[in-house]
Structure 1
């Protein structure tokens, strides 16, 4: 499933922030949406899923069912893992969803936690539950907004492994500002800086622009630092 953005622009009058215009096409696989805090990543996601209306331009895709993990998912504290997934399935009007729910619980390593209340889950398990609820209706397009934010190193590795193993056949947009997530998960990148696209291409292409005149422990860190400081910008 391909997702296309055609001259997409979103303007916030109060904050004087403008995202875009963005023209891009996303195919099956994992694309990293990268940028520092405030670059426009969450604004882009909210526009794609329809909670924000674009000021101009279009979002185009054939599948109206998009899976979405927001940056800070909030679950009812007294609901169990299975309760949350059952409710998500009901929202998507799925018939007889329990087999699907059981499969997701198993695939995402939530078997021991299926009857626990969400308030009893660790941060890593809450993220896994968030991914499961985004997948319950088997969407072809999936948006993950900072899926490893706030997790410790062990939890981040576990969530990254889950994403890599379970989502490679879908069109996945994964927003992050963590370089290690990019390197392990994404093959393509769209880099935002102050609402503007400063790079759209492969990880290898971006790394090839790195110069030893900028700070960074890896070629990817160096290349991103070049973009963020406005030096050596790569045309989208």
Structure 2
């Protein structure tokens, strides 16, 4: 399964405040990180891409289908928000099965899809547990399972490794990388370590528009190292880029 995602000239306003001002972007298979300073419009862009907000102008195209027109597109999208709200009384298996049903997974293969998703997130041992009994890291693994259970064409993850211990974080990264081999995964995170380890490319949103996009490796410019500032070369290069684009963290 391959996929191309196109964001075409998206505009969105909250009253008189413009959050997106003609954002355009093309995302191919692999992990792409969405970066930008606070208030740049990252959350709004994600909401428009998953159908939680309707842009005043522009389109989001996934494999040739316009998903910005208000029509249901759950089968195309997997979305795991930051700090997802999961029903405490639900059992893990039932919750992931419900996510599969919502996304159009056929009943005949639903059980296998649920088992596969839980297995990938090392959460099969949690299947009979109620959500309210889980730790934060366990809940995050279950949330990731709900996002991949229907094998979507585009997976959007907002801070996917928050709450995971180092071992769980490594496993989540492995799952995300494997999932991204043949389809786009959009990663929004403040953890630059995740970007450095996961992302093939980055897009930087400043003032409501994508003002930089390219391979992650190109963002770490030679002048960003050895200048005495704390942080990794990637972090310093990213900071320099934001300053050059007129943004601020």
Compute the TM-score of the two structures, normalised by the length of structure 1: 0.88
Tell me how far 1:117 sits from its aligned partner: 0.9
Count how many residue pairs are aligned between Structure 1 and Structure 2. 231
SS at match of 2:87: coil
Following TM superposition, by how much is the alpha carbon of 1:73 offset from its aligned partner in structure 2, in angstroms?
A: 0.8
- Corresponding residue for 1:58? 59
Answer whether contact 1:143 1:173 (CA < 8 A) is retained: yes
My pick for the range that moved more, 153-162 or 32-41, is 153-162
**Aligned partners of 2:121 and 2:172 also within 8 Å:** no
1:76-225 maps to which residues of 2 (within 5 A)? 76-94=87-105, 95-96=107-108, 97-208=110-221, 210-211=223-224, 215-225=229-239
**In the alignment, structure 1 residue 49 sits paired with structure 2 residue 46:** no
CA offsets per residue over residues 138-164 of structure 1, 9 Å max, x none?
A: 111110011123445444334323322
Separation (CA, whole Å) in 1 of partners of 2:146 and 2:173 = 17
Structure 1 position 61, deviation (Å): 1.6
The alpha carbon displacement at 1:112 in A equals: 1.1
Cα deviation for residue 194 of structure 1 reads 4.0
Q: Retained in 1: the 8 A contact 2:29–2:180?
A: no
Q: 2:11 corresponds to which residue?
A: 9
The answer to whether the 8 Å contact 1:124/1:156 transfers is no
Over the aligned positions, Cα root-mean-square deviation in angstroms equals: 2.1
Question: So what's the TM-score if we normalise by structure 2?
Answer: 0.84
CA, structure 1 residues 158+194, in 2 after alignment: closer, same or farther (shift >3 Å)?
Answer: farther
Q: What are structure 1's unaligned runs of at least 5 residues?
A: none
Aligned pair in 2 of structure 1 residues 214, 46: CA closer, same or farther (>3 Å)?
farther
Distance 1:40 1:105 in 2: 32
Q: Structure 1 CA distance, aligned partners of 2:210 and 2:222?
A: 16
Residue 10 of structure 2 contacts residue 23 of structure 2 at CA under 8 Å; is this kept in 1? Answer: yes
Contact 2:30 2:177 in 1 (8 A): no
Deviations 1:6-55 (A, max 9, x none): 111222226x2422321111011000011233332221111011110112
